[in-house]
Each structure stands twice: as C-alpha cells, then as structure tokens.
Structure 1
C-alpha cells in the first residue's frame, strides 16, 4: 500500500517546484502559474525541508537545479505524467465533454487523492475513514469533490455504503503509481548522498524457493546494510494487483504461459524441470522403474487450480490408467511437504524446490519423464518502472545468483 506523507506529497508544492524547473526561476514560475513570488519561495523552502535537500542553486541568472534537484525533478515529472495519463484514461471511457487535462490535474488535491485511493484499496468509505483517521463525512466530501473535478462518476453509492466502480479503480491505480514516484524520489536522494538505506518490496509467488531470495537479500545487505526489504507472499492475482498499484516493486516466481503483455514485463531467470516426488522410505522411492499404473495407485497432493503447475499435474493424471485420488489441494509448500512426509502421497515439484529447500533429505525424485517438463522462473515488473539504485542492485543480484545456481 502506498504510504502518503503529508510532508513530502504535497501536490501544490510539487506543482510549484515543477514550474520553477520549467521557468528557470522563482519569479518567472510565479508569473506562469498566477501565484505570488513569496508563495512559490515558501513552497520550495518547505519542499527542501521535507526532503532534507538543497534543490536549487540561486543566482542572478535564475535558479539552477542541483544534483538532488535533478533527481527529484525526474520523479516529479513522472508523477505528473502518471496523473495526466490517469485523467486521459478516465475521460476516454466516459462521455464527458472535452476538458484541459492539465487544468484537471492542477485542481486535484491531496485530500481527494488520499481518500480515493483508500476507498479503492479498503473497499469502502467507512474503512477509508478509519484508516486515514478522519471522519466518514470528510471522506464523502473528498469523494464528491473529486468526481466534480474530473466530471466522471467514480463510485457506486448505496444507502449505507460507498465503493469504487471500475473507472474509479483504474483511476486509483494510476494515482497510486503517481504518488509512488515521490516515495522513489526519497530513495534516489538517499543513494545520491551515499547512504546505504532504502526500500525494496518483493512479491513472492507460492512455491518459489525461499532460499533463493534469502541468498539475494544477504548479498544486497552486504552492499546496503540499512536496506529495508519487504516480502509479500500471495497468489499471482493478488501480487499483480499490488504491482500495478505500486505497493510492490517486483514479483519473483514462475512466469505465466502464455507470457503476459501490456503494462508489465516478464524477464526469464532460469528453466526449472518438473519432477515427480515421494518421501524417502516410500515404496516407489527404491524402484528402478516406476509405471503409470504405480502412480495411479497412490493419492496425490496437488497445487490449487489457479497455479500453472496444476495444468502440468492434470496433463500427467490424464495419462494414467485411472485418475488417482486428490488428497489435498494447496499452494503452501510447507503443507505439501508435510503431507508427503506423513503419508504415502505423490506430488509434482520443480527441481529448484529440492535444490534450495530443506527437503533434499526428505523427498526423492522418481526417475521418469513428465509432460511439459519444465517451467520458467523469472521476475515481473511494471513496463514503465524506473528502479532506484538499490532496487536495480536487487535485480542484478537476483540474476547473478540464478546464473551461479543454474
């Protein structure tokens, strides 16, 4: 979830900052946006205090961006690009009259955006009010004001509840990505000052070998001791939603088949063969040859239906003399291994689960071919993602660790 800071995410201050960058000076910026020079100067001062940075070198010729100012400008420009794209996308799906997108963006307020994102993420205005620590009427006022500003209905209103409609959800996604750019700016500035602090938020798909990420994080912390890494484990659908809202930076795990397109990019890391496994001590573990009839004689522990590996399992089961019993469906690797250890069940894992896991002494891979004999493990990012130096380092260490292990 995007963390909105009242100190740094002030649209008005960032708008003034963008104007000073464009006009090369405070006085010209004040004229361009119809504000007084003292008001613009105060906004820039507050912004510098918020980021703990000197953003401009002021001289007789105007205001020149410092290195820190240049880094912030890049993120602010990306923020406003996302906001403009959000408005364009919203209006394209409506019958609203033609409007000036720039003017609409300049009229959006912190309160409107903060409340709208909270309504979408939490599912209702009442939950948004509790999360933001404000009254429910205040949330309703902000929601109505936002609809008036954009000229498009964003909510489904019932007698006792307000929730976002499809247009509102898409609009919130873009706005979340816009605000996320300012969070990224803070990390950029820390790196520019030589500080080994910052954030990396990783989505981990079910059945991804956890030791792989542990090794990558260990290497990252050697270069960035103060890095804060957050791991979110969940289904592909949930993590994709988090990625598209800017709540996570990258998803690591089995790539989709066929590959995803559109607003995300999938990058392959290694291929991972599937193997049929049983516990050590299982009757089939010591056999030199295992038949299809043997596989049908035992219960199976299988992944849930929304997982790519389930398709491979179903293909294999369809080739057996009769369909065996499915004992348990689970996306939990720990639960799957517990079932294998305590029962004479069979399952399908990838070789990396045995390579990286603590299970090499517990399970045996049967010597037999499997259909669609491998999966591709990789990572998924947003198409327009601009990684911070620390996030870029995480990706490079991830790729390097996979080359070492595979």
Structure 2
C-alpha cells in the first residue's frame, strides 16, 4: 500500500492548522486525522506488525511509529498494544479499525462506480493517492455550489482550491468539473462521487464516537428522520423509554416529506428514517419492516358513515376529503381507491396531523390513516366501515444499505422493534423478524 509522502505531509500540516483549538469535538478530531495516518493504522492493524506495515506502505518504522502515536493522541485512546511478538489492536483499536476499513472499502467502491481506469485494482491504487484535502474540497464545492463560496468556507484561496480540484482530477484520470457561464461546476457523476465520499468519511467520526461511548465519556448523537403521520407517532411512543435508558443521548429529530427525507438519508444528513416504507427504494437504500398497518378511512366520531353498516365508494364520494401531499403513499392510495369512479372533492392536501385532526373533528370530512396512527388518536376519531384497502402499507425503518449502526443506533432500532412487537392493539398485523 504505497503512500504519497510529500502530499500527505502537506495534508498533515494543513489539517493541524485548520483544526487547532477544536480537537475536543468529535467531527473536528475526525477531520484532523489524515488519510496517511489511517492507511498506516489499517495496515499495521491488519498485519499485527509495525515492521510489516512499514514495508507494505514503503515507510520507515520510526515514521510509522510517529504517525501512529499522533493518531492515538488525536483519538485520545490507545489503539495498539505493543508486544515482543508484534502490535495488536486494543478494544478501542478494533472499533476504529473496523471503521477505517469501511472508509477505504467505500472509497474504492465509489471509485469503481465512477468507472476509473483499471477497475477494482485501479480504484485501490487511486484511493492510496487521494488526500483528505482533495476530498474535503470536492465535498465543499458541491455543498456550497461554487468555488468562491467553498474557498471562503474552507478558509482557502480560490487558487489553492482550484489546485486541489486539479490534483483530484489528475488522480482520477477523468474530469468531474466543467466550465459554464456561471463558473466551474461539478458534473452529475462528480456530485454522486462526492456524496459517497462524504458518507465514507462519517465512518471516522462514528469510530471516535464509539470509542468515547465505550469508555463512558461524551454524549451519544443520533439524527432521526420521522416521516409525517406514522413515523412521528412511532417515534413519540418510544422516546421517553429510550432517553430513560440513555440519558446522555443527544437526539435530533428531523421532519420532512418522504422525497426530501430520502435525499437527506442518502446524503448522510440523517442516520435512519422511521415511517411508512417506500414501495421501491433506491438500490443504496434498504427497508426493515416492523409491521403491516392497513389504511383505514377515518372521520370524526359520530360521523353519519360510522353508523352505516357497509359503506360504498358512492357514499365516500359525497364528502370532502383531506388527502396526502403529492407523491406520498397516502395520496397514491387515495388515487387508487377512486380509480375508475367519480372522485370526491379533495381541496386540502397536507401531512400536518394537528391540522388534519382539527379539520376532521369540526366537519364531516374524511381522510386516510393507517391503523397504527388511528390507535394513537384517542376517542375523537373513528374508522369508517369499508372493505380492505390495497396496497397494504407497512411501517418500519429505512436506512442506507451499507450503513453500520453504532451500539446506540442499534439499541434504538431494537427498542422500536420491541415496541411494535409488544403492541396488543389490533388491527396491527405483526411480521416476523
């Protein structure tokens, strides 16, 4: 695993300057660690030997020892135990080594997906040449939308940023930037490549976080996406218990529609998403089904249709409806329900439960809710007797396909699953595993 010594030496210096005074924060600590140090650590940890690691990386043993000592200082933890027979990963080292391995695996896969020359072997060689400063520059240009704003954000001159961009393209042996009247932009392929690199870099911050949690220091952070309706209901039902178990947890909850939430998930801005599952997630997204939760037609308690033996489509079409937002599964279900027949008047489209509850309780309007949502609405709303409505939705967890949850994330997921499994309120239909 040859390493570009001069490039990474410059990288170390620039990161030391950029992160001075902020080393106590996990993200800043993660940013202060160079790819050079991580590559050395991966090699020594895999080979259980500083000597063999130095030979693989074409560096002297003192240089490797010095780089690893600096890494341990930045992590605030001992990651290698030195013995006469070799160097072995400590408990903290095993945590970090797993994350570092995932970082470089994801980088190489991103390069393969970018169709760099040489396939997998070419991607491996290129991954060893790319520096953190090149990756950081690409991500900042994408997020800021221009070289000028990215340079200001990073505290660099535009000339320095342009040099990093050229160096990255030289390593990739293909163009990921193009010039327009508005300035230099990132190609769509470059944007997707940057997204994957940003996700890969999160592994280091999560590794630091897991080490801190393992030794009982620092707060644990989770960013949870809650989709409208079912997601917010399910999340609210477990929050008190979760915080009682993990009082030091730092929990951030984001509420968005399904399309925006999936963008945030794929970009790594949320860790996982709770709510009604999308029927056909993208290839890099996976679903965990917690329970089937059929759609039910809902009205205020005492609505004329709740007292009718069997309700028909014609009956439903006589009343105004509140429907889901365009593109939502709730809206699709409404369209499917009245396909081929007269549609009712539906002047209001919203996902705000407080608004829906108020509008239903003071009128004869109708809407669709899942059975899981309805059982948490108390006595103000009631189901309208009607045949089973298809398709049958499910509530669950959506996450990135290659995501490795931290222990805290896994505890949260296990609590969600246990809560749904333990529910005895019908008509929830539990699914195995």
- TM-based fold match above 0.5: yes
Q: Is the 8 A contact 2:325 2:350 kept in 1?
A: yes
Take 2:366 and 2:340, find their aligned partners in 1: how far apart are those partners? 15
Which residue number in structure 2 is paired with residue 132 of structure 1? 154
2:196 maps to 1:174 = yes
Structure 2 length-normalised TM: 0.83
2:283 aligns to what SS in structure 1?
A: coil
Take 1:177 and 1:395, find their aligned partners in 2: how far apart are those partners? 20
Q: Is the 8 A contact 1:91 1:152 kept in 2?
A: no
Q: How does 1:73-222 map to 2 (within 5 A)?
A: 73-91=97-115, 96=117, 100-195=122-217, 197-222=219-244
- Post-superposition offset of 1:194: 4.3
Which residue number in structure 2 is paired with residue 383 of structure 1? 401
1:162 aligns to what SS in structure 2?
A: strand
Residue in structure 1 matching 2:43, options 9, 13, 19: 19
1:251 aligns to what SS in structure 2?
A: strand
Which residue number in structure 2 is paired with residue 67 of structure 1? 91
Residue in structure 1 matching 2:287, options 252, 261, 266: 266
2:65 maps to 1:41 = yes
Structure 1 residues 295 and 170: alpha-carbon distance in aligned structure 2, compared to 1, 3 A threshold: same
1:266 aligns to what SS in structure 2?
A: strand
Structure 1 residues 9 and 280: alpha-carbon distance in aligned structure 2, compared to 1, 3 A threshold: farther
Residue in structure 1 matching 2:260, options 219, 238, 244: 238
Residue in structure 1 matching 2:247, options 202, 225, 230: 225
Structure 1 length-normalised TM: 0.88
Which residue number in structure 2 is paired with residue 397 of structure 1? 415
Point out 4+ residue stretches in structure 1 off by more than 6 angstroms: none
Q: Is the 8 A contact 1:9 1:179 kept in 2?
A: no
Take 2:178 and 2:345, find their aligned partners in 1: how far apart are those partners? 45
2:244 aligns to what SS in structure 1?
A: helix
Q: Is the 8 A contact 2:33 2:74 kept in 1?
A: no
| Unmatched tracts of structure 1, length 5 or more | none
Which residue number in structure 1 is paired with residue 348 of structure 2? 328
Which residue number in structure 2 is paired with residue 312 of structure 1? 333
Structure 1 residues 11 and 264: alpha-carbon distance in aligned structure 2, compared to 1, 3 A threshold: same
Q: Is the 8 A contact 1:75 1:181 kept in 2?
A: yes
Query: Relative CO higher for 1 or 2, CA cutoff 8 Å, sep ≥ 6?
Result: 1
Total equivalences in the alignment:
398
- Post-superposition offset of 1:313: 0.6
Which residue number in structure 1 is paired with residue 359 of structure 2? 339
Residue in structure 1 matching 2:314, options 293, 301, 305: 293
Deviations 1:146-183 (A, max 9, x none): 11111121123213333322211221122122111112
2:124 aligns to what SS in structure 1?
A: helix
- Post-superposition offset of 1:266: 1.4
2:374 maps to 1:354 = yes
Q: Is the 8 A contact 1:301 1:347 kept in 2?
A: yes
- Post-superposition offset of 1:269: 0.6
Which residue number in structure 2 is paired with residue 369 of structure 1? 387
